[in-house]
């Protein structure tokens, strides 16, 4: 851990202190728990650790119901110096819903630890790939930059600044070659992230010397600190060394403050002018003139060098899935949403490709216009007249756009969600107290959760309960739940 010379706030650290956040000791009250049961009741934990640090450790965990392998991050409560910041990190991770951002599935808690169940990425850090390769070709760098920028664009559109982007905080989903479309890059570690409002000045000095933006060192900056960092990472990927370097952290930080770098090294001789131009626009000193993530995504170098979105051929069956989803009752929609959120990249690859192809501006959200244009370009002969209404029903949170998991929920094949173990995993999310039955209070709790909030109201829930509760005991057991998933379900608005 190091500090900015001459300044009291930490530059690097797991828990920088914001003016509005006070340090406090951890009490043993449950504060982020998703599941009341013990983690070992639901997961078989691998004794071999994937990583270890001052926060705790990471190992593999096998879901006993679905056999899915996850990464289990164990954080010791005794090591938590700032509980509020940890709560904020979890809340921000729960918000994130994008193919290029690590997914938090669920969490557990006991007297000593908090356990985060995360997407398992087996391809290692971007940092290690850079060390291994020395530097990347422009096609490789553009492929990775496009993914990184997409993730940051989505975050910024959702008013979240990461504040600690660096090659160590990007993981590859698998060990395939960088150029392979199956190998997805994921943003991780939201420990220094924060929500922001337009025009808000951020003051916490947080980051890593090589990658930190000059304004962060001054303690007056905004979310554009992230795009500066993207420029530094792009420079490193194409040359093999950082634009601002020195023998000590103070030397590095002094060069960052000056903002001077060059392309005079031999490694830059064969790099295109377009690539250098994008770096220049990301490393502009004045943050108001610096390229945004949206501008970077539309830069000539990204447009011409990164792989184009794969063309997808949509059929009438695709529209029928959307229309069928519209006809389901709200509980089934919520269940499909939960199931979609639990699936691995490998299980939804085809749907992910369709989503990315339809997402014309790359912000990780689909508008009605993007859907209409995408359908027309895909060769779909007739765009349905009721498309707008279909999309409004798919938009479960009423945001006006369709997010990634909403899209997956509406387009899943029936055989993907009708397996009993998959449905059981979804049922367990609703069955908060683990007694094998879903009560009205548990229904309300899940429906009002951030992930599926706004999907229905109390009156509708009562109607759903009445329809699903075949034995009239005022509860929904698993067989009744399975019956609902098998059937079409009447539409209840």
**Residue written as token pair 């009445």:** 466
The encoded tokens of residue 44 equal 């078989």
Which segments of 308-419 does DSSP mark as H helices, in order? 316-327, 330-342, 349-358, 368-377, 387-394, 404-411, 414-417
Instruction: Please name the residue that has the structure tokens 């420079």.
Output: 235
Query: DSSP states of 193-206 as a string?
Result: -EE--TTPPB----
Structure tokens at 113: 């630890």
Q: What is the DSSP letter of 125?
A: B
Dig out the tokens for 384 from the structure. Answer: 């349905």
Q: Alpha-carbon distance 236 to 390, whole Å?
A: 45
Neighbours of 4 (CB within 10 A): 22
Spatial CA neighbour of 97 closest among 151, 148, 149, 147: 151
189 labelled catalytic:
no
Q: Say what the alpha-carbon torsion angle 390, 394, 398, 401 is, to the nearest 10 degrees.
A: -90
3-state secondary structure 284-319: CCCCCCCCCHHHHHCCHHHHHHCCCCCCCCCCHHHH
Tokens linked to 14: 């797991």
Q: Which residues of 205-223 are buried (b: 16+ CB within 10 A; e: fewer)?
A: bbbbbbbbbbbbbeeebbb
Taking the C-alpha atoms of residue 184 and residue 301, their distance in angstroms, rounded to an integer, is: 20
Per annotation, catalytic residue among 34, 97, 164, 363:
164
Torsion of CA 162, 164, 167, 169, to 10 degrees: -70
By the 8 A CB rule, do 237 and 146 touch?
Answer: no
What is the C-alpha separation between 419 and 170, in angstroms, rounded? 33
C-alpha gyration radius of the chain: 23
d(CA 350, CA 62): 24
User: For tokens 């290690």, what's the residue?
Assistant: 128
Which residues are annotated as catalytic? Answer: 164
């Amino acid at each position: 851990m190091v500090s900015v010379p001459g300044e009291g706030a930490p530059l690097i650290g797991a828990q920088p202190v914001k003016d509005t956040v006070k340090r406090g000791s951890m009490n043993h009250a449950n504060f982020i728990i998703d599941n009341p049961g013990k983690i070992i009741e639901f997961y078989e934990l691998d004794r071999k650790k994937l990583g270890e640090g001052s926060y705790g450790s990471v190992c593999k965990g096998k879901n006993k119901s679905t056999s899915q392998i996850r990464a289990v991050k164990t954080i010791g409560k005794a090591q938590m110096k700032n509980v509020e910041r940890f709560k904020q990190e979890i809340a921000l991770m729960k918000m994130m819903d994008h193919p290029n951002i690590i997914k938090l599935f669920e969490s557990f808690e006991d007297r000593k630890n908090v356990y985060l169940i995360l997407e398992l990425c087996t391809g290692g850090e971007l940092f290690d790939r850079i060390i291994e390769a020395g530097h990347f070709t422009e096609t490789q760098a553009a492929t990775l930059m496009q993914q990184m920028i997409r993730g940051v664009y989505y975050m910024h559109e959702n008013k979240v600044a990461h504040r600690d982007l660096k090659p160590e905080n990007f993981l590859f989903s698998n060990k395939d070659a960088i150029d392979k479309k199956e190998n997805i890059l994921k943003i991780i570690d939201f420990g220094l992230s924060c929500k922001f409002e337009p025009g808000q000045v951020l003051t916490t000095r947080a980051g890593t010397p090589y990658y930190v933006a000059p304004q962060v060192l001054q303690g007056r900056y905004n979310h554009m600190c992230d795009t500066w960092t993207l420029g530094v990472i792009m420079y490193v990927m194409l040359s093999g060394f950082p634009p601002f370097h020195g023998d000590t952290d103070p030397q590095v930080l002094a060069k960052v403050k000056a903002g001077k770098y060059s392309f005079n090294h031999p490694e830059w001789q064969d790099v295109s002018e377009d690539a250098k131009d994008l770096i220049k626009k990301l490393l502009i000193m004045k943050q108001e003139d610096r390229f945004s993530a949206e501008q970077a995504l539309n830069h000539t170098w990204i447009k011409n060098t990164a792989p184009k979105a794969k063309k997808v051929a949509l059929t009438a069956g695709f529209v029928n899935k959307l229309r069928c989803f519209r006809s389901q009752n709200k509980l089934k929609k919520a269940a499909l949403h939960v199931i979609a959120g639990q699936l691995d990249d490998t299980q939804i690859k085809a749907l992910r490709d369709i989503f990315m192809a339809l997402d014309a501006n790359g912000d990780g959200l689909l508008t009605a216009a993007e859907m209409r244009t995408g359908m027309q370009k895909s060769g779909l002969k007739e765009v349905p007249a009721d498309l707008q209404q279909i999309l409004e029903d798919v938009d479960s949170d009423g945001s006006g756009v369709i997010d990634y998991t909403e899209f997956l929920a509406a387009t899943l094949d029936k055989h993907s969600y009708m397996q009993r173990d998959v449905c059981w995993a979804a049922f367990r999310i609703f069955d908060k107290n683990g007694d094998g039955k879903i009560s009205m209070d548990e229904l309300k709790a899940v429906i009002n959760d951030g992930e599926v909030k706004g999907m229905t109201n109390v009156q509708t829930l009562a109607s759903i309960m009445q329809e699903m509760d075949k034995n009239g005991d005022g509860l929904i057991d698993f067989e009744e739940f399975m019956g609902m998933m098998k059937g079409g379900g009447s539409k209840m608005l």
